[in-house]
Amino acid sequence: MYDNLSSVMNEGSLNASESRGSHKGISPRLRLRLGHIFIAVALIAAPATDHYAFIIAGAILVIYGELVRIASAGQIRKNTELATSGPYAYTRNPLYFGSMMIGLGVVTFTGHWLFLIIFLAILPAVYHLTILGEEEFLKRKFGEDYARFVSSTPRLIPHIMGWWPPGWFAGFDASQFKRNREIQTAFVMAVIAFLFVVKWYLDWQIPIWK
């Protein structure tokens, strides 16, 4: 992660440098700001869902996504090694996948289709060029090793066995996880989930929904 705060729109691929090649995409700082805006709008402007099932499902998705990110942060040694173990054995971009799950969790907390449309519209615009740029960098840096990695590992959506947590933590390095500061992301997401629970419990919403 490039900044100390969490965002569902900003995780950065720790497999890659900030050098993006010709496909530069949206900068990490801008992705962070977009994520902050999306979460703030969802938290403040969304209606308070009438169904606690949305809160439970949202929490499950956020926890799931954060577990993927935690497992990934314990594997990555940015710019020095090509990560291929743990969640990287199932997808080349597990941090993006984890953030996507967290984003869907935030959408589920709202229980409103409008926020799903916004999220799905923003997601490809934010990530597509960024992923392409990172792939260019990784091809230059790791050559044939990266080519073999690409040939055997999906870009974003994991292999079927990669959806389950046990294999994610193979080779997990707690000290590397600490260095990558993913614990800060987990803390911020826990606070956000708590605020959505409070919003639901108090039935707080702006007058437009009442």
pLDDT score for 58: 93
* Per-residue pLDDT of the chain in tens (210 residues, 90 and over written 9): 333 333 333 344 545 544 444 445 566 667 777 777 888 888 888 888 888 899 999 999 999 999 999 998 888 777 678 888 889 989 999 988 998 999 999 999 998 899 999 898 888 777 777 788 888 888 888 889 999 999 999 999 998 878 887 778 888 888 888 888 888 888 988 999 999 999 888 888 776 655
Q: How far apart are CA 77 and CA 122, in angstroms?
A: 29
pLDDT score for 153: 92
pLDDT score for 104: 94
Domain boundaries along the sequence of the chain: 28-209
Q: How far apart are CA 130 and CA 136, in angstroms?
A: 10
Q: How far apart are CA 96 and CA 41, in angstroms?
A: 21
Q: How far apart are CA 168 and CA 70, in angstroms?
A: 9
pLDDT score for 15: 59
